[in-house]
Structure 1
Amino acid sequence: MDRFYWLDEDQGAATQHGGHVDAAHRWGLPGLLKCPTCEKSWAAAGHYYPGVDLAPLGEMEREFRKARQEPFDEFARLRAMVLPLAPPGAVLPPGTTFGPLVGRCSGQLPDFTWVVDELLLHRRVLDGLQSGGVRGLEAFPTELRSRQKTPPDLVEVQLAHRGQLHPDCIPDEVAPPCTTCGRFGLKRPDEPILDASSLPSDLDLFRVGNFATMVICTERFLDAVSKVGGDGLAWRELPVRARTATTCASTSAP
């Protein structure tokens, strides 16, 4: 069985370099003011699509430029406009963002630079990973201004949502996702476990589908990183568990 790792920022490398990125995506769906079913106000993290261009919407793209909250019907109207432009199967919860990161960067940045849970790479690192056989790696240009004489050429990785946390690490008291807005009120488990049946066989870097701020990689990805020699990453191997018949029965119950 393949081995899978939870990626995070190497705080030591970030501190050592001392650089900083202050940026946001050009477009985004509004947050939800109040769901008519679960009555929660929320916006998701971990749903970023730098490769999705909303310019084809014409003048309507202005509706996606201002961060705000909207009632569910208005959110649903805006999401329906974007869905044809998004990757197949994209869920697009409230707060999903699109287009390039626009803003500023300063100082020296690690080879793998994190903006909260968004992963940026220097282009030479991207080239090295792709040459090293990393599968399914998509990255798109940023629009970051810099006063440096030789500004970094940074790209943002667009990650698919393909894996799932195993039900064994989800507390029984956590309610299933809302049937209207999709909100899943789960706090990140202290000891995450990956669901074996959900893990992709064609990607070496992806997000957990039911906890999207978690970035997961394969051993193949880390092997490629070691050859590139980049800094800025920390990782922790996660256990992978198959679902038993009992687990499947309990998770399929209404």
Structure 2
Amino acid sequence: MKFFIVKEDGAPIYTGVITGTHKWRIPGVDTCAACGVTWGNNSRAYPSVDLSPVASLADFVEPRAEPIEEYERLCELVRPFLPPGALLEPGTNLGPIVGTALGRFGQLVTSYPQWLLVQREALEKLQAEGLQGLKAIPAQLRFRQRNAPELLELELLPVGRAYPDCLPTEREPSCPRCGRFGLSLPKDLLLDAATLPNQLDVFRLEDLSTVIVCTERFAKACKRLKLDGVVFDPVPVSRLKKRASIK
């Protein structure tokens, strides 16, 4: 099976702008006791999560960094509400996108590189194609225009990894406490076939979470249905025996 990276179509006709963020978030880590790094990564998002039953909701509103112990405590409060297969890390977004929107959007939207939204009609067409894993949550956006589209965010689970040979030989190991590893997107990305899913047609890479990947089925369906707003860049897949694993 072939795979593609989903990217924004930069054509000037797409003037849409979203100003907002997800309703809740996990704080970043302030000076991890194990690796000494202060960090957070807001590319992961689980819009289906509803934290309303949590008593201390205020702890998940303000973007900030917390000591590792507080971060771990808050993660445990959130875990019961996560979808199967979700991973938590500092800065993870939860709940629907809340904010404002203005302009012309395509049927598929990646105004933010790490989020993928879809108009309602386009979602229904894709679901009718039998594509797998298309779970979408309505964004809570106030449009400053008439005839505004209804945008939903696709919940992208973390699946699939880069093939080790496309990554620097000398790279930081993952932190055993906070999970941080200093990976940057390689110039020539190569996917590890052994880690790619059979049951999802669009997903987020586990180790490079800003990368959204789809199957050939998804890309072909979008082109056949003439769904605009994104482009599909082919990404090679390695089926060779791995030299090393990412820790």
Normalising to structure 1: TM-score of the pair? Answer: 0.93
User: What secondary structure is seen at the aligned counterpart in 1 of 2:99?
Assistant: strand
Q: What corresponds to 2:84 in structure 1?
A: 88
Task: Could you list the structure 1 runs, at least 4 aligned residues long, displaced by more than 3 angstroms after superposition.
Answer: none
Q: What is the distance in 2 between the residues matched to 1:31 and 1:85?
A: 19
Q: What is the distance in 2 between the residues matched to 1:204 and 1:141?
A: 20
Map 1:43-192 onto structure 2 (within 5 A).
43-57=40-54, 59-116=55-112, 117-192=114-189
User: What secondary structure is seen at the aligned counterpart in 2 of 1:7?
Assistant: strand
Alignment length (residue pairs) = 246
Task: Say whether residues 1:3 and 2:10 are aligned partners.
Answer: no
Q: Report deviation, 1:106.
A: 0.6
Q: What corresponds to 2:18 in structure 1?
A: 21
User: What secondary structure is seen at the aligned counterpart in 1 of 2:218?
Assistant: helix
Q: Report deviation, 1:243.
A: 4.2
Once the two structures are overlaid, the 10-residue window that deviates more, 94-103 or 235-244, is: 235-244
Q: What corresponds to 2:211 in structure 1?
A: 214
Task: Say whether residues 1:201 and 2:201 are aligned partners.
Answer: no
Q: What is the distance in 2 between the residues matched to 1:216 and 1:188?
A: 14
Q: What is the distance in 2 between the residues matched to 1:119 and 1:180?
A: 30
User: What secondary structure is seen at the aligned counterpart in 1 of 2:152?
Assistant: strand
Deviations 1:111-168 (A, max 9, x none): 1111322011111010111111211111001100012222210000001111010101
Q: What is the distance in 2 between the residues matched to 1:230 and 1:223?
A: 10
Once the two structures are overlaid, the 10-residue window that deviates more, 20-29 or 225-234, is: 225-234
2:29–2:67 contact (8 Å) kept in structure 1: yes
Identity rate, percent: 38
User: What secondary structure is seen at the aligned counterpart in 1 of 2:110?
Assistant: strand
User: What secondary structure is seen at the aligned counterpart in 2 of 1:11?
Assistant: coil
Report which of the two has the higher share of helix. 1
1:45–1:212 contact (8 Å) kept in structure 2: no
What amino acid sits opposite 2:82 in the alignment? A
2:14–2:104 contact (8 Å) kept in structure 1: yes
Q: Which runs of 5+ in 1 are unaligned?
A: none
1:133–1:224 contact (8 Å) kept in structure 2: no
Q: What is the distance in 1 between the residues matched to 2:138 and 2:16?
A: 19
Q: What is the distance in 2 between the residues matched to 1:223 and 1:43?
A: 35
Q: What is the distance in 2 between the residues matched to 1:19 and 1:90?
A: 29
User: What secondary structure is seen at the aligned counterpart in 2 of 1:56?
Assistant: coil
What amino acid sits opposite 2:227 in the alignment? G
What amino acid sits opposite 1:113 in the alignment? V
Q: What is the distance in 2 between the residues matched to 1:195 and 1:234?
A: 22
What amino acid sits opposite 2:73 in the alignment? R
Report which of the two has the higher share of strand. 1
Q: Report deviation, 1:228.
A: 2.1
